[in-house]
Structure formats: C-alpha cells, structure tokens
Amino acid sequence: MSSLSRFWSDISNNLRLEYGDTVYNSWITPIEPLKIEDDIFYLAVKNDFLKEWISKHYLSRILHYSKNHNAQIRQVEIMINHCKREFGQPQNNDMNNLKFKESENDYNIIKSIPLDKNLTFDEFVVGKSNELAYAAAKRIAESETTVYNPLFLYSGVGLGKTHLMHSIAWSIREKYQYKKIIYLSAEKFMYQFIKALRYRNTMDFKDQFRTIDVLMIDDIQFICGKDSTQEEFFHTFNELVNNNRQVIISADKSPNDLEGMENRLKSRLGWGLVADIDKTTFELRVSILESKIARTGVEVPGDVVNYLADTIDSNVRELEGALNKVIASSNFFGQSITLDHTKNVLKDLVKSYDKKVTIEDIQQKVASYYTIKMSDLFSHKRIKQLITPRQVAMYLSKDLTTLSLPDIGKKFGGRDHTTIIYAVKKIESLLQTDKGLVEDIRNLKRIL
Ligand code: ADP
Ligand code: MG
C-alpha cells in the first residue's frame, strides 16, 4: 500500500466510525485519493453529483481528519475524474455510461418534493374538525425526539393533510436544522423504488431511507394493491420506527379502511397516533376565508364571506378557489366585491352544489329503474325481486345524501336504522362480486 493510500485509508476509517457503514459505502468508498501537493489534499470522484454531495456533507470532516493525520494539510480539494473506471463497467461505452449516470442521478439520492412556502402552521386555521390533527402535528414539529410514531393523518380531499405535513417540515427545518427530512408522495416513493428495482439497486434505496430523521409519505393510499412497493415500504418503515426516526403518513382513509393494503402494514400504521380531519364547520370556513382575505388585503364584505362559507362546504381547496375567483373577477372588471357580483361569478359552481339529491328522487329513480312500484320500496314484502331494489335505494340514500340512518329509516316505511345498516353492508358486500349490481349502481348514480 502506498503512503497515500494508507493515509486515505486512515481517514476513511475515521469517517466510517463517525458516520456508519451506510454512509461509508455510499459516499466515502467512491472517493479516490489523488495526491498531496503543497498543503492541499486532492481527492477525485467520478461525477459532479458525487462532488457536490460529498462537499456539502462530508468535506469539513474529511479536512478535520486529514489535518489530524497530517498537520501540514490546510485544504481538501475534490476533483472530477471522468475516467475513473467502475468495477465491471465497460469503458467507452456510451450506452452504459449514460445509463449509469442517469440511474445515479435518479436514485442515489432520494429527493424530497419541494415544500410550498404558503403551507405553514401560521397559515393553518384551527377549528373543531382539525384541532387534534393540528395539535399532533405541532407536537411532533416541536419535539426533538419522537412522540407518536407514526403519526397517521387522514381525511377527505382538500381538508389540510398536505398543509399540515408541509408545516411540520418547515418547522423542523427551522428548529432542528441538523435533521434530515424527506417528504414524498406515495407515488414518488413508488416511482423511486421502481427505478431502483430496474437498476437492481434496492439495497442502496433502503439504505438511503435509513439515514433520514423524518420521513413523510403523503397519500399512502396510492400504494394500495402495489405489493412489492408495500413490502419495501414496510421494511423501510420498520427500520425507521425501530430506530426512533419520526414517520408521518397521510391517507384518505383510516389505516383499517385502506383496501388493498396488507394487514400487517395496516396494523403497523395504526400503532402511533391516528388523527382524522373532519369536514369543516361553517364557523371554520368563515375563519379560513377571513384569514385568507386578510393576507390578500382586499376588502370583502361580511355577507359575501357568509355566502361563500354557506354554499361552498365541500372542502377548503374549493373554498379557496371560489374566493380567488371572486377576487380575480372583481379586479378584472374593476368592481368592488358585492354579494350580487359574487353570486354572478359563482353561478355555475353553486348550481352543482344546489343540485342535492333527495331520498324521494332516489326512490323514484330506483323504482323506475327496476320497474317496480314506489310503494314496494316502503313495503315489508320479502320477495327477492323487491329486496334488492329496496336495499339499493337505502344504500344510495346513505351514499348520496347527508341524512342520518334513523332519518333514512323513517323514509323507508318507518324502518329501524339497523335495517339501513344491514342493507348498506349487504350491498357493499355484493358489490365485491356482483358485476351486474356494480353496473346498476353506476347507472343509477348517473341518472341521479
Ligand atoms: P389535503 O392534502 O387534505 O387534500 P391540502 O392540505 O392540500 O388538503 O389543503 C387544500 C387547500 O386548503 C390548501 O391550499 C390548504 O392551504 C388549504 N387549507 C386546508 N385546511 C386549511 C386550514 N385549516 N387553514 C387554512 N388553509 C387550509
Ligand atoms: Mg394532500
């Protein structure tokens, strides 16, 4: 061994002790010692990417150990040696080089999706429906060690899951700068994993996740039914949780309701804290609108705010969209914002909300679809030809209206709410196997 190699081997051993095998294998072994000239220690790596990463993360420690072993050294310089030959990689083969480069840039570093600067705790309005999720998110963001692991956030669309996740990331970034945070959508996670598989480098893939402090995966429902991705995620997840790294997951359903998700994973996901975000209340919608309005500095009268909060009750994203539309059009027409103007601007949007389906509609359409009498839906006749349409009508009433089960029962000849639950369950289970019924429900929904 030359003295240079021995010198470098001492330094890299120090680095290995400090950072562990994973970092050592990924980032230190690709470095080649070149020479020591004057007081500069020259190292070589084979591409820009490695140079950048190593400079950013390990250069100061490399310098530190270099000085320890050779007091004369004042500086470490990393060069790019494009010719450095990879073991088993043919030289001068454009295809191979290209492939190697691409693969490296794509998966050798798991990239976090950029954070949206508007999605912070300061901009998040708290109300009854989201206070648990908010408190849990805050707690995680402020605590240096893990508190609940994992935190599992779930809700329908547009209710603030992504907003809370970004907020946690911003807050940790500010408070605990040393922490490595990765925020990914489940799709991105899957994409990166598939890429890694293609280049047969799943070991590297796992190892990279193992070095992070906080892993956030948004919309985990996208890996439902994707078995190998789930498998990979399961191992990554366990490894992180076992090492006390914080994991935060969001989904559109509770862990138990995630269909196509392996049971062991479902149960793991529910181990920490599961917090749901409920539909917004009128009061929360008003507060959210007021907070957004305050930030734009535009004058919006109270009756307009009330009107928006009253009519756009589906989710916050649409509420924001409606407000923006009203503000934009008033700017465009150079008009101040009034209730009339607002109603006019939102005509089409509001129409779709107005068109609420009633139980009477459902009963009428179901009866005519199955060519039975409406009264047969209320009757207690136990004839097979009537039972299915009756249960379909009950199922659709539960699905398409906001009425409670007892209220639905009343509208079906004064039945008990347990009958409605039974009917809903029955149809749900039939839908798993009965293609004809799936078709019927789809047609009826379209008609309604
Ligand atoms: P999800 O991820 O649950 O589908 P998002 O977090 O993307 O929903 O939220 C949709 C939009 O609504 C975003 O612009 C977000 O800033 C806004 N939003 C949701 N909840 C709140 C809230 N409580 N306060 C302020 N803005 C909110
Ligand atoms: Mg989201």
Ligand 1 atom having least distance to the Cα of 218: 2
Question: Three-state SS for 199?
Answer: coil
User: 106: exposed, middle or buried (C-beta count within 10 Å: 0-12, 13-18, 19+)?
Assistant: middle
So what's the pLDDT on residue 100? 37
Whether the ω angle into residue 150 lies within 30 degrees of 0, i.e. cis, is: yes
So what's the pLDDT on residue 205? 74
> Following CA atoms 332, 338, 341, 344 in sequence, which dihedral angle do they give, to the nearest 10 degrees?
140
Does the beta carbon of 58 sit less than 6 angstroms from any atom of ligand 1?
no
Distances (CA, A) of 260 to 116, 256, 257, 263: 31, 10, 9, 9
User: What is the sign, positive or negative, of the torsion defined by CA atoms of 309, 315, 317, 321?
Assistant: negative
Does the beta carbon of 159 sit less than 6 angstroms from any atom of ligand 1?
yes
Residue type for 25, please?
N
Enumerate residues with CB within 5 Å of ligand 2 (an ion): 161-162
Does the beta carbon of 133 sit less than 6 angstroms from any atom of ligand 1?
no
So what's the pLDDT on residue 255? 95
Closest ligand, as measured to the CA of 128: 1
The model's pLDDT over 9-39, given as tens digits with 9 standing for 90+, comes to: 999 999 988 888 877 877 898 899 999 988 9
> Which helix (H) or strand (E) segment is 184 a member of?
strand 181-185
So what's the pLDDT on residue 206? 74
User: What is the sign, positive or negative, of the torsion defined by CA atoms of 257, 263, 266, 267?
Assistant: positive
Which of 278, 295, 317, when mutated, tests ligand 1's pocket best, judged by the most ligand atoms within 8 Å of its CB? 317
So what's the pLDDT on residue 201? 66
Phi-psi group of 69: left, alpha or beta (phi > 0 → left; psi -120 to 50 → alpha; rest → beta): alpha
Q: State how far the Cα of 436 lies from the Cα of 165, in Å rounded to an integer.
A: 41
> Which helix (H) or strand (E) segment is 88 a member of?
none
The rounded Å distance from CA 146 to ligand 1 centre is: 25
So what's the pLDDT on residue 98? 33
Q: Around Cβ 169, how many Cβ atoms within 10 Å?
A: 24
Q: State how far the Cα of 249 lies from the Cα of 268, in Å rounded to an integer.
A: 11
Q: State how far the Cα of 411 lies from the Cα of 372, in Å rounded to an integer.
A: 17
Does the beta carbon of 316 sit less than 6 angstroms from any atom of ligand 1?
yes
Nearest CA to ligand 1 atom 10: 158
The model's pLDDT over 210-268, given as tens digits with 9 standing for 90+, comes to: 789 999 999 999 988 888 888 888 988 998 999 999 999 999 999 999 988 999 999 99
Q: Around Cβ 190, how many Cβ atoms within 10 Å?
A: 20
Strand partners, 152: 249, 274
- Identify whether the C-beta of residue 229 lies closer than 8 Å to the C-beta of residue 189: yes
β-sheet with 214-218: strand ranges across = 181-185, 214-218, 246-251, 151-154, 273-276
Place of tokens 């329908």: 156
Ligand 1 atom having least distance to the Cα of 160: 6
pTM: 0.61
The rounded Å distance from CA 292 to ligand 1 centre is: 12
Does the beta carbon of 124 sit less than 6 angstroms from any atom of ligand 1?
yes
Nearest CA to ligand 1 atom 5: 160
Tokens of 50: 């490695």
Which of 132, 284, 316, 319, when mutated, tests ligand 1's pocket best, judged by the most ligand atoms within 8 Å of its CB? 316
How do the pLDDT tens digits run along the chain, 448 residues long?
688 999 999 999 999 888 888 778 778 988 999 999 889 999 998 877 778 888 888 999 999 999 988 989 999 999 987 644 333 333 333 333 333 333 444 444 577 888 999 999 999 999 999 999 999 999 999 999 998 999 999 999 999 999 999 999 999 999 999 999 999 999 888 888 877 777 766 666 777 787 899 999 999 999 888 888 888 889 889 989 999 999 999 999 999 999 889 999 999 999 999 999 999 999 999 999 999 999 988 999 999 999 999 999 889 999 999 999 999 988 888 889 999 999 988 887 766 555 578 899 999 999 999 999 989 998 888 888 899 999 999 999 998 888 889 999 999 999 999 999 999 999 999 998 998 998 899 889 878 8
So what's the pLDDT on residue 84? 40
Ligand 1 atom having least distance to the Cα of 124: 24
Closest ligand, as measured to the CA of 154: 1
So what's the pLDDT on residue 85? 36
